[in-house]
Chains A and B, each alone.
Chain A
Amino acid sequence: MTDEAVLRVRDLRVWYGTERGPVRAVDGVDLALVPGETLGVVGESGCGKSTLGRGLLGLLPEGAKAGGEVRFRGTDLFELSGRALRELRGPELGMIFQDPLTRLNPLWRVSEHFEELLRTHCPDISAEQIRHRSLATLRRMGIPPTRYRNYPHEFSGGMRQRIMIALGLVLNPAVLVADEPTTSLDVLVEAQIIRLLADLRRNFDTALLLITHNLGIVAEACDRVAVMYAGHVVETGDAREVFAAPAHPYTRELLRSTISLSTTGLHYIPGAPPDLVDPPPACRFHPRCPDAMQVCATRDPVTVSPRPGHRVACWLHGPAEQVGAGGDAPLVREEIDVADEA
């Protein structure tokens, strides 16, 4: 599984410099993406999903720093020259951003965005070809050709989202990061987009990293899933298997908080995700984990592989000899006052 990976991430760390200190938004993530595969990334808001997605393109906002490595077909993006990295972005590494409303240049027609993109990466392309390819991609997204020369503000949010997706797809990148690409779309269009992304990987062997809050989409459209909590990937594995039998308590709680809508009313995980400037020591989930043990508050969990292709970082599955004597005793902690939290 590992050698054919088109993108391989090792110990990726991304942090934002702030006045309070570095925000460690991604803190030691390992991932691999093989061609044609869809990896879903889930986790609560603020756990570092978008930061991870940007990191895969080597795209860091001002003030952000990164460590570790992101290898695309074997070359580490962080060691590439600015120009070489830039040339990968677009034709090889694509990104669809989370907030589509402000991602188009307000002074430019939609057509101009496509022209710039295609001219940059295919210098010999003719105006006719540009038009043809752009319109074909837009049409797949349900944007009629008559709107090609409109300005961004003339479109609804959902349409702008679809234009952004079309811009991400028009070059058929080898790796596509889609950051909540369907959040501003209605259910029907959402299903359509998800189907399109599925087609893409079937037809072009695109590896897709799909960031989403919608666990239903993961179950339906993703081969594998990575569950993030506070900058860590706490569990990865086959999407169906993980959902059928979550190994990490956080995954389990996350799943419960959606499914129970139809059963016993809203279940949610008490407490809030931690502050990433000063996260809890050892297992970052221990202040909120129903299963927390003594060892969880003192030592970092070891990542283990209960099944092939399935990895989890939790002391429940950790090597028993490392848990130590008494380490598995329940953790005594101040009760999280649910009323206070709310």
Chain B
Amino acid sequence: MSRTAGTLRRYVLQRLALVVPMVFILLTFVFLLVRVAPGDPVSAALGGRLPPEALAQRRAAAGYDRPLIVQYLEYLGNVLRGDLGRTISDNRAVSDVLVENGGATLTLAGAALVVALLAGIPLGLYSGRHRDSFGDVGVRLFGIVSYAAPVFFTGLILQLVFAVWLDLFPTSGQASPITQVRVDEITHILLLDALLAGNVDAVLDVVHHLVLPAITLGLLCVGVFLRLVRVNLIQSLQGDYVEAARARGIPERYVVRRHAFRNALVPVVTVMGLQTALLLSGAILTEATFNWPGLGSELVDYLNNRDYVAVQGIITVFAVVVVVVSLLIDIVNALIDPRVRY
């Protein structure tokens, strides 16, 4: 046991060391992406709205008149200190944007992941177990369609059917105004705050609002999980150790459940990590469709206002989230699969 713990600790340390260059590379990408375009953020956001002298003054104050490389180093330094700058259009600290709107995105992404896993894993297992049956064909078709359908299209259909026609769910927003007012902000995650306050009505209200956006975003990822689980299960069921378990007289349901399923699910964790990027990009569109007050909505607003400082700040956070999640996923993987640790 102690041996296992030792190798695990070493693995985690190695993996942590890898995070440094990964973050560095990503930050460089973000900087290049946002800043390599001609012009500077101040002119982009305020150009034409201020007299040229005032513009130049603001530019100098923000340091955009210095060489790009200096700005790049400063950006890295600021990010490392946790300073993401202030937005140009409405002069908020980007970190405040994160705090105020990050919770909604987190809630949405988490719920969508749950939807994707709850639907994708059972469907994939069913499909793999009953390969080439009618059900399998149907499930696979569903996987392809749900992945290929654009997020806003899925969202609109769901809104139309479940919100407008059937009137089961609200069309947009994170909660009714009354809930927003009544729940004290503690964590800035509305759902969590409502839970902490023990306010059942508020919790139900948020969940009620959450259902359609979560399904919309979840459907984007469900196909990936479904196909992955299906293929893995089919492979596992033909695996040598599965045959060996059968030869030892292990009941088929246990062969499937304990040997094949578990092994088929190992890659799901990895893919879950890889889905973070898909999830975040899907969240932007979902939030826009459902008017969900998360980072994605903010990002779209700031993009429309050409506020590149805000955009850069939010994308930086997205990038860091992707790296951190991939780190966590690798550690979870090492816990599940002993072979990974070496």
Contacts and interface: CB of A to CB of B under 8 A. Distances in A.
A103 B252 contact: no
A62 B238 contact: yes
Interface stretch (B93-101, B239-247, B294-302): B239-247
Given A106-B339, A151-B339, A153-B339, A164 B244 contact: yes
Interface string A76-113: 00000011001111110011010100111111000000
Interface in B220-266: 237-241, 243-252, 254, 258-259, 262-263, 266
Size bin of chain B's contact surface: 20 to 34
Nearest to B337: A107
A104 B263 contact: no
Contacts of A95: 244, 247-248
Contacts of A149: 1
B130 to A, nearest CB: 13
A105 B247 contact: no
A107 B336 CA distance: 8
A143 interface: no
Most buried by A among B243, B244, B245, B258: B244
Contacts of A75: none
B250 A116 contact: yes
B248 A167 contact: yes
A105 B245 contact: yes
Nearest to A167: B248
B129 to A, nearest CB: 12
B52 interface: no
Contacts of B336: 107
Given A88-B249, A105-B245, A167-B248, A151 B338 contact: yes
Given A151-B338, A153-B338, A153-B339, A103 B250 contact: no
Contacts of A106: 241, 263, 337-339
A120 B251 contact: yes
B338 A90 contact: no
A105 B243 contact: no
Interface of A: 57, 59, 61-62, 82-83, 86-91, 94-95, 97, 99, 102-107, 116-117, 120-121, 149, 151, 153, 164, 167
Interface of B: 1, 237-241, 243-252, 254, 258-259, 262-263, 266, 336-339, 342
The 10 closest A-B pairs by CB, nearest first: A90-B249, A89-B249, A102-B240, A95-B247, A103-B244, A151-B338, A105-B241, A90-B248, A86-B249, A103-B240
Given A83-B251, A105-B263, 12 more contacts: A89-B248, A89-B249, A95-B244, A95-B247, A97-B247, A102-B239, A103-B243, A105-B241, A117-B248, A120-B251, A149-B1, A167-B248
